[in-house]
Amino acid sequence: MLLIRSLAFNVLAYAGFLLLAVVLLPTLAFGRHALFFAARTWSGMTLWLMRHVAGLSLEIRGLEQLPPGGCILACKHQSALETFGVVPVVGDFAFILKRQLNWVPVFGWYTSLSGMIGVDRGGGSAALRSLTKAARKAAAEGRRIIIYPEGTRRPVGAPPIYKYGVSLLYSALGVPCVPVAVNTGLFWPRRSILRRPGTAVVEFLPPIPPGLERQAFARELERRIEEATARLLAEGKLAASRRPHPAAA
């Protein structure tokens, strides 16, 4: 049953994305905020399918922690769920993503024209300067800059590997940084087609104010995210252990 529901969700979600991407093409002509409407429509559709087909819901906690205006959202990355799942709730946002995603037909049109920040991971210091310039502009516009400090999805329980890009942005932008913890990998494992039923959690934690020394910030950010993620993982595993087995339901 788990495999059947997971396959059904995946087929419907990808088909729905392709359909919406075509139907909403006219939004490309109307600027960033029209494109955000397209993104929120897609996110809402996918979350609805996830809940009703796969039996998986997403709970967002700590929205009161989001400061007004430009800031950095530094998010633990375990699955695709925390990427589209936060879209309806974070206001005017700018994801930091691999530059190659901007080259994907149709999808890349949306990311490029909505002002997402593409990064050349092999571009060295020039890429970091470009990243900083684009992020500074986004923050000045009052946008929430979403970055994954480890750079890629990590398996549940894997040792953290935080990159220095988030610390660079924190020092350069002078805005608060909101750590974000998740337990999404328990329900939407990386490199897997399975979507496990339950309630995944994305939690916004109290912001780190600007002004810390870069290494002190890096240590504090990692500590907050990892401690909260461990708590959410324990919570998710306990809830899963209490769910009735499908055969017994």
The candidate with the shortest Cα–Cα distance to 223, out of 146, 149, 173, 155, is 149
Phi, psi of 61, deg, nearest 5: -120, 155
Radius of gyration over every alpha carbon of the chain, rounded to an integer in angstroms: 18
Burial of 64 (0-12, 13-18, 19+ CB in 10 A): exposed
Three-state DSSP class for 13?
helix
| Tokens found for residue 46 | 């996918």
One digit per residue, the tens of pLDDT, for the chain of length 249 reads 899 999 999 999 999 999 999 999 999 998 888 999 999 999 999 999 999 999 999 999 999 999 999 999 999 999 999 999 999 999 999 999 988 888 888 888 899 889 899 887 766 777 788 889 999 999 999 999 999 999 899 999 999 999 989 999 999 999 999 999 999 999 999 989 999 999 999 999 999 999 999 999 999 999 999 999 999 999 999 998 887 765 433
Please check whether residue 209 is in contact with residue 24, taking contact to mean a CB–CB distance below 8 angstroms.
no
* Residues in contact with 244: Cβ distance below 8 Å, sequence separation at least 6, in sequence order: none
* pLDDT for position 249: 39
Any bridge partners for residue 146, and if so which? 73, 95
Please check whether residue 122 is in contact with residue 138, taking contact to mean a CB–CB distance below 8 angstroms.
no
Q: Which residue ranges make up each domain of the chain? A: 56-248
- Please give the Cα distance from 157 to 232 (Å, whole number): 12
- Please give the Cα distance from 174 to 157 (Å, whole number): 32
Phi-psi category of residue 59: left, alpha or beta, with phi > 0 → left and psi -120 to 50 → alpha = beta
The 10 Å CB-count burial string (b at 16+, else e) for 181-206 is: bbbbbbbbbbeeeebbbbbbbbbbbe
Q: Does domain 56-248 have CATH number 3.40.1130.10?
A: yes
Phi, psi of 53, deg, nearest 5: -100, -50
- Please give the Cα distance from 200 to 197 (Å, whole number): 9
